[in-house]
Amino acid sequence: MSFELDAVEVRHGEARRALRAVSLSGRAGEQIAIIGPSGAGKTTLLRVLATSLRPTAGRVSVLGTDPWQVPASRLRRLRSAIGMVHQTPPLPPRQRVIDAIIAGRLGQWPAWKSLLSLLYPMDIAGPRDALARLDVAERLFDRCDRLSGGQLQRVAVARVLYQRPDLLLADEPVSALDPTLADRVARELQSESARRGISLVASLHAVDVALRWFPRVVGLRDGIILFDGPPAAVSDRMLHNLYAAESAGAERPASEPEAEVLTFRPSVRASRTV
C-alpha cells in the first residue's frame, strides 16, 4: 500500500472533530479524488497524509512507514518523498519561478548542490519542461508576484511534477483555473501518477473534474467518509446528500451522517456538476 489510514481522528480543541474514525488506503499508482463541502475535512486529511499533521487517534502508514514512530532524520526523508500542491501556493513573492520549482528537489539533493542552486539554477531544462506541460513555460524567469492566481497555481503543480515524489497530494489544485486549464492540470497529474506508478490523492471542489478524471471518488462530509467508489456508482442522490447542508446554508447536523458503501468495478468516467 502507498498509504493506509486506520480509524484516524483529528480534533481541533475539545469540541470539533475534523476527522472522525476515517479509514482509507491507496495502492501505488491509484488516483483518488476527495470531494465534499467546505469544512468537510479534505485539507485535514491531506495534511495527515503529508505527515504535517499528527492525528489525535488512529494509525497512519505512508510509503510503508509510520511517520510518528521514526527518528526525525527518517521523517525528513519521508517528507521529501511526498509532493504536496497547496490550494494557496506558499511561494515567496520576490522569488523567481525557476527557483520556486527547483526548491521542490532541495530535500533530495546533497547539501552542496542545494546551496549552489540558491546562487544559480542547477537545472533549467527540467523546470521549463514541467512548466510547458501546464502551458506556462514563458514565465520561467519571472518573479512570482508578477503572476496571476491561476499561473501561480500551475507553478505549484509544476514544482511537484519536477520534484518527482513517491506520493502526490493536491489540495484544490484547479480552484483558480478555467475549465479548460482545470482539465489540463488534472490530466497532467493523472499522467504523472500513471507513468511513474505513484498514488495521487486530490481534494476537489469541482465535482465534474473529479468524476471525469479520477477512477475512484471519495465523498467526505463532517469528517466522515460517506462513499468511496468509481464515478459511475456515484449517483445524483449521493451528491445531493453530500452537499445538502452546504447548498441549503444549514448548520451541520449533530448526528453522524450515514455512509454508503460502494463496490469497485470498471467504470466509464461521467461528467456532472453540483
pLDDT in tens, the chain (274 residues): 999 999 999 998 776 889 999 999 999 999 999 999 999 999 999 999 999 999 999 999 999 999 999 999 999 999 999 999 998 888 888 999 999 998 888 766 666 566 666 667 778 999 999 999 999 999 999 999 999 999 999 999 999 999 999 999 999 999 999 999 999 999 999 999 999 999 999 999 999 999 999 999 999 999 999 999 999 999 999 999 999 866 554 444 444 555 555 544 333 334 444 3
If asked whether residues 201 and 265 sit together in one domain, one would say: yes
Residue 170 lies in a domain: no
Q: Based on the domain organization, do 69 and 100 belong to the same domain?
A: no
User: Does 89 share its domain with 75?
Assistant: no
Give the domain range for residue 260: 1-81+196-274
Q: Are residues 71 and 100 in the same domain?
A: no
Domain at 118, CATH number: 3.40.50.300
Judgement on whether residues 100 and 228 belong to the same structural domain of the protein: no
Q: What's the full length of the chain, in residues? A: 274
Query: 46 and 107, same structural domain?
Result: no
94/98 Cα distance (integer angstroms):
12
Residues 118 and 52 in one domain: no
Name the residue among 255, 200, 265, 263 with its Cα closest to residue 224. Answer: 255
Residue 184 domain-assigned (yes or no): no
Domain contains 140: yes
Select from 103, 3, 106 the least CA-distant residue to 50. Answer: 3
Domain end (from 164, 187, 209): 164
| Nearest in space to 202 (alpha carbons), one of 11, 32, 65, 72 | 32
Identify whether residues 72 and 208 lie together within a single domain: yes
In this structure, the answer to whether residues 114 and 243 fall within a common structural domain is no
| Location of C-alpha cell 518523498 | 81
Q: Are residues 45 and 91 in the same domain?
A: no
* Residues 6 or more apart whose Cβ sits within 8 Å of residue 240: none
- The C-alpha atoms of residue 264 and residue 115 are separated, in whole angstroms, by 48
Is-contact 105 189, C-beta < 8 A?
Answer: no
- Max CA pair span of the chain: 56
Beta-strand ranges (E) seen in 114-210 are 167-171, 199-204
Q: Are strands 167-171 and 199-204 parallel, antiparallel or unpaired?
A: parallel
Q: Specify whether 100 is located in the same domain as 131.
A: yes
Number of domains the chain is built from: 2
Closest among 102, 99, 91, 103 to 145, alpha carbons compared: 91
Domain-ending residue, one of 107, 140, 164: 164
The structure's pTM equals 0.87
pLDDT value for 270: 40
Residue 148 lies in a domain: yes
Residue 173 domain-assigned (yes or no): no
CA angle 216/247/260 to nearest 5° reads 35
CA distances from 148 to 91, 131, 170, 176 (A): 13, 15, 19, 9
Beta bridge partners of 171: 203
128 in any annotated domain? yes
Which of 116, 142, 164 is the C-terminal boundary of a domain? Answer: 164
How far is Cα 260 from Cα 169, in angstroms, rounded to an integer? 25
What pLDDT does 267 receive? 35
Quick one: 96 and 75 in the same domain? no
Q: Is residue 187 domain-resident?
A: no
- Give counts: helices (H), strands (E), the chain: 9, 9
Which residues lie below 8 Å from residue 262, measured CB to CB, with a gap of 6+?
Answer: 227, 228, 229, 230, 233, 234
pLDDT of residue 13: 77
Q: How far is CA 201 from CA 56, 72, 143, 169, 255, in A?
A: 22, 25, 29, 5, 28
Decide if 223 is inside a domain.
yes
